[in-house]
Structure 1
Amino acid sequence: MSPNGQSSLPEPQVLEHLQRLPRPLYGHFQTLPNIVLGYRHAHPWGQLSYAIGGVLQVHTDSGFYLVPPQRAVWVPAQVQHRVSCPGDACLRSLYLEHAPAGWSASLCRVIAVNPLLRELIRTFSELPVHYDINGADGRLVQVLLDQLAMATEQQLMLPLPQDPRLRALCSHLQAQPDVSTSLSAWARQAGVSEKTLSRLFQRETGLSFRLWRQRMRLLSALPALERGERVTDVALACGYDSLSAFIAAFGQQFGLPPGAFLRARMDAQQQQ
């Protein structure tokens, strides 16, 4: 029997080769090592991963998702993705044969995890593999699915363009968030007009270049904040000239100041 009380627990590598889950909703507890899962892969079922500690990062062809503590990310069936996380990341994962009501069958999403949903996820990660679907455990499945359907979606996704010129530009900015090169300078490098590049950016990402860069910078701040780095140092590393500007932008994007994010980090550690 495993430390979390599951018997005959399929390992993640075995799960990847199964054609069907042992139950329509199956939970798994895992602590991931400090390694970047650089290979692309997909599952024949949907996966919901809840971050207890550490910031989980999910990369797909269409976007980049950051999942700080007290959030969860949904990866639908057959969606190609790769995952990275810090060595101290602690996750609980659910595998579902079908997406919750109202959720896209092809798009990932990050959701907030309230206390009830957190406890439901924890409960299912500790159940035996072949729990009684006609008993009390089985009845909890619908409760959990209802809670997932009602969960608030979080703006923790960075859309990625498909155009090679924009893809190279975005990769450069993600690697160096503090770079302040203007759109006109990028346009000259790409050999197109600023107006053309601006329109292309809006069409491919749904955001203006300014808003995309702002969201990218704020998302890049989350792992550093979760590690406990000083807010001032994080702001400068992300390209902000002043702490006040960073705090204002952070609050506008995430609905809470950086200090509240840090408190959520400490709360998450206490719940482990």
Structure 2
Amino acid sequence: MMQCFDPDAIDVPVCALNLDAAEHTREAPMHNHNRGQLVVALSGGVICRTEKGLWMVPAGSGVWVPGYVRHSNEVTRNGRVVVLFVAPEIAGLPEHCACLNLSPLVIELICRLAENPTALYRSGDHLDRIAQVLLEELRLQQVNDLHLPIPDDPALRFIANALIENPGERLSLAQWASRVAMSERSLSRLVTRQTAMSFGRWRQQLQVIIALRQLSEGASVQNVADNLGYDSVSAFITMFRKLLGQSPARYMNETRRAG
């Protein structure tokens, strides 16, 4: 996505870059850089994948990836994003990957920096003052829970990857246990120990992330429910509301207004 832009070569504390999914590769290969990175979805959505999990952000939110962490970003087909890069010496930002609910002010400040991604501003310059206000505001943004942990355990990584490839798979816990040569009780305990979730909750978390990606691409609630293997739209809506506190339609309407 950013073959011609090296954020580590820009000698300023903060810089930003606009990206359009129609003009760039929708999914970048796994990579890392010295700077921390905040990928902000202006429209559509973004999924960030690291070796430890998945993070999903709809429009109006951003996913923070600290420096040196290997990651890959996938932008939905209709996606438009802006990427903020922060020098590693900047303190006060999350030490781990996180999804952030962003205020309109933060998004506007990032977009302002992205108008000239290679600008070399000095301390006290207009752009430097924008960057300092942006960093102060960024430290105050709320973290949300659109995250799927993917543990290092081979059995759980196998199940996670299988569900990512086929999120409509409806195998029971006992059937998954048989596939990874474990007892149902042992698999249940392993999931809880490694993810702090029950197996059902862990699978629902993945389904919400996949649902948000599909909804961000313009899929209907009916189609998403079908793709995720739900017997009815109402069952899918109930699950979605339980995890995110709103129906899919209302959640997407609010995120689109925010974006």
TM-score normalised to the size of structure 1?
A: 0.85
1:35 aligns to what?
A: 25
Verify: 1:95 aligned to 2:95, yes or no: no
For residues 186-265 of structure 1, the aligned pairs below 5 Å read 186-264=176-254
Whether 1:108 and 2:90 are equivalent positions in the alignment is no
2:139 partner SS: helix
Q: Which residue in the other structure is 1:4 paired with?
A: none
**Residues 152 and 35 of structure 1: CA distance in aligned 2, closer, same or farther (over 3 Å):** same
Distance 2:58 2:137 in 1: 19
Partner of 1:167: 157
What is the rounded CA distance, in whole Å, between the counterparts of 1:129 and 1:167 in structure 2? 42
Say if 2:24 is the partner of 1:45. Answer: no
* Structure 1 residue 146 corresponds to structure 2 residue 136: yes
Change (3 A) 1:99 1:232: farther
The match for 2:170 is: 180
Amino acid at match of 2:115: E
More divergent stretch after superposition (200-209 vs 125-134):
125-134
Residue 86, structure 1, aligned to residue 76, structure 2: yes
Number of residue pairs matched by the alignment: 257
Structure 1 residue 121: Cα displacement: 1.3
Give, in whole Å, the separation in 2 of the partners of 1:175 and 1:99.
38
Letter in 1 for 2:71: H
Amino acid at match of 1:91: V
Cα–Cα, structure 1 residues 99 and 150, in superposed 2: closer, same or farther, change >3 Å?
farther
Tell me how far apart the structure 1 counterparts of residues 168 and 123 of structure 2 sit (CA, whole Å): 52
Distance in 1, Cα, partners of 2:130 & 2:142: 20
The CA deviation string for residues 209-268 of structure 1, in whole angstroms up to 9 with x for no partner, is: 010011111111112211222212211221322322322322232233211233246536
Q: Partners of 1:77 and 1:174 in 2: how far apart?
A: 26
* Aligned positions of 1:260-271 closer than 5 A: 260-264=250-254, 266-267=256-257
* Deviation per residue, 1:190-213 (Å, 9 max, x gap): 222111111111222222101001
CA distance in 2, matches of 1:38, 1:139: 31
Answer whether contact 1:40 1:81 (CA < 8 A) is retained: yes
SS at match of 2:3: helix
Q: Could you state the TM-score of these two structures normalised by the residue count of structure 2?
A: 0.89
Unaligned segments of structure 1, at least 5 residues = 1-10
Deviation larger for 240-249 or 160-169? 240-249
User: Residue 228 of structure 1 contacts residue 262 of structure 1 at CA under 8 Å; is this kept in 2?
Assistant: no
Cα distance per residue 1:36-59 (max 9 Å; x no partner):
545321011111111112221211
* 1:206 partner letter: A
CA contact (8 A) 1:70 1:264 kept: no
CA 144–255 in structure 1, closer or farther in 2 if over 3 Å, else same = farther
Query: In 1, distance between residues paired with 2:208 and 2:165?
Result: 13
Identity score, percent = 32
Amino acid at match of 1:116: L
CA contact (8 A) 1:34 1:86 kept: no
RMSD: 2.3
Cα deviation for residue 87 of structure 1 reads 3.7
The residue type equivalent to 1:261 in the other structure is Y
1:187 positional shift: 1.3
